[in-house]
Amino acid sequence: MIDWHIVEVEAVGPDGFAVTTTRKNPAKPGAVTGQLTYYSFLASIKESIYKPAGVHIC
């Protein structure tokens, strides 16, 4: 399959720190999968405000 939904996130911090993560989901153009992935990611970010400082992997 050559069609993908790609979500790339870059976090930048002090002293030149940066980390990038990329998620690729095989999906046909127009498929809902990409939108659901976006909302799932957004929900995770919103939920993180209730967690202590640091990196949380769920």
pLDDT at 3 over 80: yes
Structure confidence by residue, pLDDT tens digits, 12-51: 999 999 999 998 887 777 776 666 777 887 888 888 788 8
Per-domain residue ranges of the chain = 4-47
Amino acid 9: pLDDT: 93
Residues 33, 54: contact at Cβ < 8 Å?
Answer: no
Amino acid 32: pLDDT: 66
Amino acid 17: pLDDT: 96
Residue type, 48: S
Amino acid 53: pLDDT: 84
The 3 state secondary structure assigned to the chain is: CCCEEEEEEEEECHHHCEEEEEEEEECCCCCCHHHHHHHHHHHHHHHHHHCCCCCCCC
Amino acid 18: pLDDT: 96
